[in-house]
Each structure stands twice: as structure tokens, then as C-alpha cells.
């Protein structure tokens, strides 16, 4: 977890060390929809694609915008560091609309929006490979950036907290809870979150179900379904929309990284998935 002063902006720091088998040079998995992530590849190679399509080469500093579709990825033996940003973190640090980066993979070294991270990329590349040293580099860099960050619109934090409340299920209800008009909510949602409020509510409902299944596959899908699903066919439609496959096809896949990541994240941050992270100030942060 980040330090207390950064917890309103950063969900978590994470590190994955991958060792591939001599017979299979790649580890492959699928990422579920999530908020913005900054990823730093160290002594490895990775490829990824959001949604359908051919896998594309990932730069040593790859930015994944907020996503509404699964990302297929694969990587060779090596290490990857990640920084998860809440919408508040995006708004505080980056002078761009989140909607302009929605469902996109970006080379952070080629996009001037992310120029404040170039020094961190270089420092990690020059490190001696120690976990503690690299984490310290990341923590120091992020603390320095946020010390100079822009003040964040309190409506962004309020919307982030509202989205993880399973009792809020409709756009009009969400707008009323926040004391906003529906039109104002739509503008805020696209600017800081990347998508419409309707899609975000639908995504949250789906991810609550997926998280339960990933933490305990013995539940089967019926046992993992969120209470807001009318029936299993309703869930299957959402699953195909967000993951690009059926629940049964996904259940058969190996998940060498994501199952481990979900369990580790649950232990450290109190939620198995980044988009379900409860921000500081919502009264529900479970770790820190």
C-alpha cells in the first residue's frame, strides 16, 4: 500500500516476478477491466491487447488507460512493477481527459502527458534489481509528484466512493446521491473516469461477481453472482461484453498471474480488484 498521504490517489504498488518454463517462453493471462495502471518492465518482454485483436509489443513504460474490456497479455521471464491510479490520482497528476485514454495502451515514453515518469523509468532500469530498492524508488518518486499535484475536485472522490457502494444501482440514484444533475455527472464521469456512469455501474456489478469467483472458484458462477443480476443469462451477457468470452470458457483458462494477484491484493488492500478499491474517506478502507 502507498503511504497515508497518497492513499486517496494510488490504489497499490505491485510487483510480479515471472519465471517461464524452458518449454514455454511466455506466461499468458487476461486482465479484467480496471482503472489506470502504469507498468514498468524490467529485463523482460511483454505483449498485450485490449479486447479483440492481435497482441502488440509493450514498451518498457506502458500506460493502460481505464478499461471496460479484458486485456489479454503475455510476458517472458522477468519483473514487472505497477502503480494503480484512482481517478483522483489521474486528475491530480495528468493534464488529460481520462476518456481520451479509455481502453487504450500507450507508450508512456512517447506521450508527453507522462513525461513526469521518465526519470522513474530510467532509475528502475539502472537499479541493481533489488525489490526493496526499486520499491523505495517508486515511493519516493510518487511522493515527490503528489507533493506538487493539483487539488482534486471533491466530486471525483465522492463518485469513486459511490461506485463501490453496491446499493447505488441507477444513474439517477447516483446523481441524486452526489447532489449533481445527470448531465454534470456524465461530464465528470467521462473526464475523470473515462466512461459513462451507466457503464461504470454495470462494470462494478460485473467485477463484484468476478472477484468472488476468483477468490473462491468452488462457488461456481451461480454462487458468485452479484445480487443485482436478474438471472444467469443476464450475467452471461455482461461477461461476454466485458471479457470477450463466455464464463465457462474463462473458467477453463489457466490464470497463473491473476489468481495470485487477486489473493495477494485482497490480503494487502482489502479488495481483490483495483476497480473495487475503497478510497480513503469513504469510511471503508480496510488496509493501510
Q: Which domains occur in the chain, in start order?
A: 4-147 (2.60.120), 154-276 (1.10.10.60)
What is the structure's pLDDT at 229?
74
What is the structure's pLDDT at 282?
43
Q: What angle, 0 to 180 degrees and rounded to 10, lies between the N-to-C axes of helices 171-178 and 197-215?
A: 100
Residue by residue, pLDDT tens for the chain (288 residues) are 999 999 999 999 999 999 998 899 999 999 999 999 999 999 999 999 999 899 999 999 999 999 999 999 999 999 999 999 999 999 999 999 999 999 999 999 999 999 999 999 999 999 987 999 999 999 999 999 999 888 878 999 999 999 988 888 899 999 999 999 999 999 999 999 999 999 999 999 889 888 887 777 676 666 667 677 767 888 889 999 999 999 889 888 888 888 888 888 888 888 878 888 887 754 333 332
What is the structure's pLDDT at 286?
31
Which DSSP string do the residues of 243-257 spell out, in sequence order?
A: HSS-HHHHHHS--TT
**CA distance from start to end of the chain:** 6
What is the structure's pLDDT at 108?
97
What is the structure's pLDDT at 147?
93
What is the structure's pLDDT at 103?
97
State pTM to two decimals: 0.90
Do residues 70 and 33 touch, judged by C-beta distance below 8 A? yes
What is the structure's pLDDT at 270?
83
Which DSSP string do the residues of 55-121 spell out, in sequence order?
A: -EEPPSEEEE---SS-EEEEE-SEEEEEEEE-HHHHHHH--S-GGGGTT-EEETTT-GGGGGGHHHH
What is the structure's pLDDT at 283?
36
Amino acid at each position: 500500500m502507498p503511504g497515508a498521504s497518497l492513499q486517496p490517489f494510488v490504489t497499490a504498488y505491485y510487483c510480479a516476478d515471472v519465471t517461464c518454463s524452458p518449454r514455454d517462453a511466455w506466461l499468458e493471462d487476461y486482465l479484467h477491466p480496471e482503472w489506470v495502471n502504469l507498468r514498468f518492465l524490467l529485463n523482460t518482454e511483454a505483449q498485450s491487447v485490449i479486447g479483440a485483436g492481435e497482441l502488440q509489443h509493450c514498451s518498457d513504460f506502458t500506460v493502460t488507460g481505464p478499461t471496460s474490456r479484458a486485456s489479454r497479455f503475455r510476458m517472458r521471464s522477468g519483473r514487472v512493477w505497477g502503480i494503480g491510479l484512482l481517478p483522483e490520482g489521474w486528475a491530480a497528476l495528468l493534464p488529460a481527459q481520462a476518456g481520451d485514454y479509455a481502453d487504450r495502451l500507450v507508450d508512456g515514453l512517447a506521450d508527453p502527458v507522462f513525461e513526469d515518469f521518465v526519470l522513474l523509468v530510467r532509475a528502475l532500469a539502472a537499479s541493481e534489481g533489488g525489490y526493496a530498492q526499486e520499491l523505495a524508488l517508486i515511493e519516493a518518486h510518487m511522493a515527490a509528484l503528489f507533493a506538487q499535484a493539483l487539488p482534486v475536485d471533491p466530486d471525483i472522490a465522492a463518485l469513486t466512493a459511490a461506485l463501490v457502494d453496491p446499493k447505488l444501482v441507477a444513474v439517477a440514484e447516483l446523481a441524486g446521491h452526489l447532489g449533481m444533475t445527470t448531465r454534470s455527472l456524465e461530464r465528470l464521469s467521462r473526464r475523470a473516469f473515462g466512461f459513462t456512469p451507466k457503464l461504470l455501474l454495470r462494470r462494478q456489478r460485473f467485477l463484484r461477481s468476478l472477484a468472488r469467483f476468483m477468490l473462491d472458484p468452488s462457488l461456481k458462477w451461480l454462487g458468485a453472482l452479484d445480487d443485482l443480476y436478474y438471472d444467469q443469462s443476464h450475467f452471461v451477457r455482461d461477461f461476454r461484453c466485458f471479457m470477450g468470452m463466455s464464463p465457462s470458457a474463462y473458467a477453463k483458462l489457466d490464470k497463473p498471474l491473476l489468481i495470485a494477484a487477486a489473493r495477494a491484493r485482497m490480503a494487502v488492500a482489502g479488495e481483490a480488484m483495483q476497480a473495487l478499491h475503497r478510497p480513503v474517506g469513504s469510511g471503508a478502507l480496510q488496509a493501510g
